Amino acid sequence: MQPFKYIKVPDTPAAIRAAGINQAKFIAGGTNVLDLMKLDIEKPRQLVDINQLSLYKIEELQNGGIRVGALVKNSDLAYNPAIKKNYPLLSEAILSGASPQLRNMATTGGNLMQRTRCPYFYSTDFACNKRVPGSGCAAISGYNRMNAVLGTSDHCIATHPSDMCVAMAALGAVIHVQGAKGTRAIPFADFHLLPGQTPHLEHNLKADELITHVELPPLAYAARSHYLKVRDRASYEFALTSAAVALDIQNGIIKAARVALGGVGTKPWRSIAAEQVLTGLPPNTASYQKAADTAMLDAKPNKDNAYKIELAKRTLVRALTTTGEIS
């Protein structure tokens, strides 16, 4: 790990001032940034500890939505009664990720910003456009069983690893940030970037911008929702595929649906096309299968990950079936 200066800031303005200089990085839970610093993948000269900021609240809003502070721990969010009741898919997604210890440390903001687990990104012995722009992508020609099939480019095929983000993508959460130039609200779909020719650019934040909170919009039918994660072992493992879904079923017809996939995309992957296919159909296997085929229509496999296309479809069909049966 490279030496760095450690600064503990008391409030948001101080955090923003400290962030813009000296290749600074914020540290919240530390579970991703320290992991990467130990491996010399991230080398900030200054670490800005934001844990003193008062961003720990989960507030129910007048409009029926919920506002989540950036420092709310993943475990506190997952077990929050209002989240469990109104957005079960989010609670389930978070609890399917990492371990209880890590969830006690990890924060909402840090989870949004976590970086890929692509093994070649994690080893400085290999070429990786994300780690060293322009150096090449060892995964494309290498062992790519864990890599993405949607949203990939010739420069990077890394998956976005977060479970929480898949549920937030389905919900259409809004990320609120504050920087030297003021505040902004970023729709979830615009927050993470596709790799394109610049896989090292992963999100929409400026250097001095801090995530202050995430707003979950009101979505009454999200009470009927579910997150399903498929992985190599039963627990404590990243997704091979996952699906976050919500269904609005009235009089035996799907009135509206939300569908997002994890483990397959270079960013948390909402499929509006699959949602549109489901709308107006009866909640049955044929409809779910149609939605799954639509969601994976543009999938592009590599040498070792073609299995993910079928697995993702089955994961989605299963998640929709379970959700459809929720009374």
Partner 1 sequence: MDNSQEDQEAQKTGTTRRQFLGQVGLASAGLQLVPLLSKAGSMLPDNEAAPAEPVTVSLMVNGSRKTLTLDTRVTLLDALREKLQMTGSKKGCDHGQCGACTVLADGRRINSCLHLAVMCEGTEVTTIEGLAKGEELHPMQAAFLKHDGFQCGYCTPGQICSAVGLVREGHAHTDEEIREQMSGNICRCGAYNNILDAIKEVQTA
Ligand X SMILES: Cc1cc2nc3c(=O)[nH]c(=O)nc-3n(C[C@H](O)[C@H](O)[C@H](O)COP(=O)(O)OP(=O)(O)OC[C@H]3O[C@@H](n4cnc5c(N)ncnc54)[C@H](O)[C@@H]3O)c2cc1C
Q: Return residues touching ligand X (CB under 6 A).
A: 25-33, 35, 50, 70, 97-98, 102, 105-107, 109-111, 113-114, 161-164, 210-211, 238
**Residue with smaller CB distance to ligand X, 126 or 191:** 191
Rounded CA gap, 254 and 324, in Å?
A: 9
Secondary structure element (H or E) that encloses residue 174, with its range = strand 174-179
Report the phi/psi class of residue 284: left, alpha or beta, with left for phi > 0 and alpha for psi in -120 to 50. Answer: beta
Task: By CB under 8 A, name the one of 135, 183, 284, 285 that touches partner 1.
Answer: 135
CB of residue 314 to partner 1, shortest distance in Å: 23
Task: State how far the Cα of 324 lies from the Cα of 133, in Å rounded to an integer.
Answer: 45
Could you give the CA distance from residue 247 to residue 324 in angstroms, rounded to a whole number? 7
Q: Is 285 in the site for partner 1 (CB under 8 A)?
A: no
From ligand SF4, partner 1, ligand X, none, interface partner of 38 (C-beta below 5 to 8 A by class): partner 1
Residue nearest to ligand X (CB): 110
Q: 16, 58, 106, 138: which one contacts ligand SF4 (CB under 6 A)?
A: 138
Q: Which amino acid is at 21?
A: I
DSSP 198: -
Tell me which of 10, 13, 64, 133 binds partner 1, using CB under 8 A.
133
Instruction: Kindly state whether residue 30 participates in binding partner 1, applying the rule CB under 8 A.
Output: yes
DSSP annotation of 201 reads -
Rounded Cα distance, 87 and 258, in Å? 12
Minimum CB distance to ligand X smaller for 23 or for 285: 23
Answer whether 160's CB lies under 8 Å from 268's CB.
yes
The only residue of 84, 145, 200, 290 in contact with partner 1, by rule CB under 8 A: 200
C-beta closer to partner 1: residue 204 or 289: 204
Q: Where are the beta strands (DSSP E) in 188-292?
A: 210-216, 225-230, 241-250, 253-262, 269-270
Q: Which is nearer to ligand X, 69 or 283 (CB)?
A: 69
Q: Which does 120 bind (CB under 5 to 8 A by kind): ligand SF4, partner 1, ligand X, none?
A: ligand SF4
Our CB check for partner 1 shows the closer of 163 and 202 to be 202
Using the rule CB under 6 A, is 156 a contact of ligand SF4?
yes
Tokens of 247: 């269904």
How far is Cα 275 from Cα 320, in angstroms, rounded to an integer?
11
> Among residues 2, 54, 284, 285, which is the contact residue for partner 1, using CB under 8 A?
2
For 35-70, give one letter per residue: b (16+ CB within 10 A) or e: ebbeeebbebeebbbbeebebeebeeeeeebbbbbb
* Residues contributing to the site for ligand SF4 (CB under 6 A): 116, 118, 120-121, 128-130, 137-139, 147, 156-158, 199
